[in-house]
Structure 1
Amino acid sequence: MRLVEITDDNRDAVMAVRVHPGQERFVASVEDSFRHARESPDAKPWFRAVYDGDEPVGFVMLSWNLTPGPELRGPYFLWRLLVGAGLQGRGYGTAILDEVVALLRAEGASELITSCVPGEGSPEPFYRRYGFVPNGETDEDGEIILTLDLSTRP
């Protein structure tokens, strides 16, 4: 598994990676993620395709070292993590987070923040298993805010 920059050559293949239809209310598409990144340059979007060999299997997007503000959480915020529908349950999500955590530690980051929509089918249990904990806050959309202390991950 490796994180790969998105270029004109691989953009369409990466945008074709989709979650299960029942998960779409919890995880925005890659195409929507690109739009959100364009619309929110102040959030310092950083994104990569996730490849296994020559096949795109997922996508990850973070706010990278931003100055937190009233509407921006950070400095490191996990906006998007998705693994293709037919490839879930194979450890890709954990491997992606392991790689992101290693990159963040190399930057000197101490925590990673994310949010998720609560409910049946939410990725919240996955994030909790990984070590994220709710910080007691919700955002303006009612999403639960979770924090990962980077010093606690091996």
Structure 2
Amino acid sequence: MTSTLRLEAVTAANLDTALGIDVRPDQAHLVDPVVKSLAEAYVHPGVAWPRLILDGERPVGFLMAFFDIDFKGDGGTDIRSGLWRLNIAAGEQGRGYGRFAVEAVATEIRRRGGTRLTTTWHPGEDGPERFYLRLGFRPTGETSGSERVGELHLTAEPEPEPEPESGPA
């Protein structure tokens, strides 16, 4: 993975770029299109965090995270943050962009004080379950609609190694 990977907020200036992100046709039934994500972000402005995934200046995907939602809808007994949507462009898959996206969301959740990352996926052979399990997600036994719920427990990011002290030679 190169240091040219970054996230960029979706704005009026890059909206068409975001809308142009499409997964492979055989995956379209597994993840909603970017346009639905942006509509959801519009009606959930304090919760949704839509971002383009860029490699340099080249758009390679889209993600939408969520922060501090009442996951069970029961008045706040189970507040969660996580990955709401992940769309890696059809021609860009298998290059580590999905892993980068999950790591970027994990970093943002940690920054906000969270200790777990929740996501959902469609079960089945053609679904992304193996991808999420390889990253350390574990099924919770819950479902959200027809999707399986998984969690990744976040540890604190490692502290950078201190610079060696250089004394007189």
**TM-score, structure 2 normalization:** 0.82
The answer to which structure has the higher helix fraction is 1
How many residues align structurally? 152
Say whether 1:92 aligns with 2:73. no
Counterparts in 2 of 1:9 and 1:43: CA distance versus 1, 3 Å? closer
**Structure 1: runs of 5 or more not aligned:** none
In the alignment, which of 123, 143, 146 is matched to residue 138 of structure 1? 143
- CA shift digits 1:17-71 (9 cap, x unpaired): 11000101111111111122234x2871111111111111111111112344427
Q: Which amino acid aligns with 2:48?
A: P
C-alpha contact 2:138 2:152 (8 A) present in aligned 1: yes
Q: Which amino acid aligns with 1:60?
A: L
**Structure number with higher relative contact order (C-alpha < 8 Å, ≥ 6 residues apart):** 1
Aligned counterparts of 1:56 and 1:26: Cα–Cα separation in 2: 21
- After superposing the two structures, state which structure 1 stretch, 51-60 or 96-105, moved more: 96-105
**Structure 2: runs of 5 or more not aligned:** 159-169
C-alpha contact 1:6 1:49 (8 A) present in aligned 2: yes
Equivalent residue number for residue 80 of structure 1:
85
Equivalent residue number for residue 22 of structure 2:
18
Aligned counterparts of 2:148 and 2:72: Cα–Cα separation in 1: 18
